[in-house]
A and B are shown apart, each in its own frame.
Chain A
Amino acid sequence: MHVLFLNAITHNFRMNDDHYQRLKLIIEPYLPEDVSVEIITPESDFMKELNINSANLVDIVLDVEDTFDIMLENEDMDTMRTVKDALLIIENKLKVS
Chain B
Amino acid sequence: MKTRVVITGLGVCAPNAIDVASFSKALDSQQSGIRFMHQLQELKFGCQIAGQPLVPQNHLDAYFTVLQQRGLNASGLVYGVIAGIDAWKDAGLTMASDSVPYWDSGVIFGTGILGADKFREAIYMIDQGNTRRLGSTSVIQTMASGISAYLGGIIGSGNQVTTNSSACTTGTEGLIMGYDRIVSGKAEKMLVGSCSDSGPYIWGGFDAMRILPRKYNDEAKKGSRPMSASASGFVPGSGAGALVLESLESAVKRNAPIYAEVLGGAINSGGQRSEGTMTAPNNVAVQRCIKDAIQNSNIQAHEIDAINGHLTATAKDPVEIENWCAALERYGVDFPYINSFKGLIGHCLAAAGSIECVGTVLQLAEGRIFGNINCDTIHPEIEKNISATRIPTKTLDIAPNIVAKASFGFGDVNACVIFERYNP
Q: Tell me, yes or no, whether A binds B.
A: yes
Whether the pair A29, B70 counts as a contact (CB closer than 8 A) is yes
Q: A62: nearest residue on chain B (CB-CB)?
A: B135
B67 on interface, CB distance cutoff 8 Å: yes
Report the count of interface residues on A (CB-CB < 8 A): 7
The segment from A1-9, A38-46, A52-60 found at the interface with B is A52-60
- With both chains docked as a complex, state the minimum distance between the C-beta of B153 and any C-beta of chain A, in angstroms: 13
Complexed CA–CA distance, A58 and B66 (Å): 17
B254 on interface, CB distance cutoff 8 Å: no
Residues in B neighbouring A20, C-beta threshold 8 A: none
Q: A65: nearest residue on chain B (CB-CB)?
A: B133
Whether the pair A30, B133 counts as a contact (CB closer than 8 A) is no
Q: A71: nearest residue on chain B (CB-CB)?
A: B132
Whether the pair A58, B136 counts as a contact (CB closer than 8 A) is yes
- With both chains docked as a complex, state the minimum distance between the C-beta of A97 and any C-beta of chain B, in angstroms: 18
Interface of A is mostly: helix
Whether the pair B67, A58 counts as a contact (CB closer than 8 A) is no
Residues in A neighbouring B70, C-beta threshold 8 A: 29, 59
Whether the pair A29, B66 counts as a contact (CB closer than 8 A) is yes
Complexed CA–CA distance, A57 and B66 (Å): 16
Whether the pair A55, B136 counts as a contact (CB closer than 8 A) is yes
Residues in B neighbouring A58, C-beta threshold 8 A: 135-136
Q: B133: nearest residue on chain A (CB-CB)?
A: A62
Instruction: List which B129-175 residues lie within 8 A (CB) of chain A.
Output: 133, 135-137
Whether the pair A30, B67 counts as a contact (CB closer than 8 A) is yes
Residues in B neighbouring A55, C-beta threshold 8 A: 136-137
Complexed CA–CA distance, A30 and B136 (Å): 12
Residues in A neighbouring B133, C-beta threshold 8 A: 62
- With both chains docked as a complex, state the minimum distance between the C-beta of A24 and any C-beta of chain B, in angstroms: 15
Q: A60: nearest residue on chain B (CB-CB)?
A: B136
Complexed CA–CA distance, A56 and B67 (Å): 10
Q: B66: nearest residue on chain A (CB-CB)?
A: A29
Residues in A neighbouring B67, C-beta threshold 8 A: 29-30, 56
Residues in B neighbouring A59, C-beta threshold 8 A: 70, 135-137
- With both chains docked as a complex, state the minimum distance between the C-beta of A62 and any C-beta of chain B, in angstroms: 6
Instruction: List which B3-22 residues lie within 8 A (CB) of chain A.
Output: none
Instruction: List which B220-240 residues lie within 8 A (CB) of chain A.
Output: none
Residues in B neighbouring A62, C-beta threshold 8 A: 133, 135
- With both chains docked as a complex, state the minimum distance between the C-beta of B95 and any C-beta of chain A, in angstroms: 13
Residues in B neighbouring A56, C-beta threshold 8 A: 67, 136
Instruction: List which A49-83 residues lie within 8 A (CB) of chain B.
Output: 55-56, 58-59, 62
The interface bits of chain A over 13-56 (1 if a CB of B lies within 8 angstroms of the residue's CB, else 0) are 00000000000000001100000000000000000000000011
Complexed CA–CA distance, A58 and B136 (Å): 6
- With both chains docked as a complex, state the minimum distance between the C-beta of B154 and any C-beta of chain A, in angstroms: 14
Complexed CA–CA distance, A62 and B137 (Å): 12
Complexed CA–CA distance, A29 and B133 (Å): 19
Complexed CA–CA distance, A30 and B71 (Å): 14
> What are 16 A-B interface contacts by the 8 Å CB criterion?
A29-B66, A29-B67, A29-B70, A30-B67, A55-B136, A55-B137, A56-B67, A56-B136, A58-B135, A58-B136, A59-B70, A59-B135, A59-B136, A59-B137, A62-B133, A62-B135
Inter-chain pairs besides A59-B70, A59-B137, 11 sampled, C-beta below 8 Å? A29-B66, A29-B67, A29-B70, A30-B67, A55-B136, A55-B137, A56-B67, A58-B135, A58-B136, A59-B135, A62-B133
When A and B form their complex, which 8 residue pairs have the shortest distance between CB atoms, in order from nearest? A55-B136, A58-B136, A29-B67, A59-B136, A59-B135, A29-B66, A62-B135, A62-B133
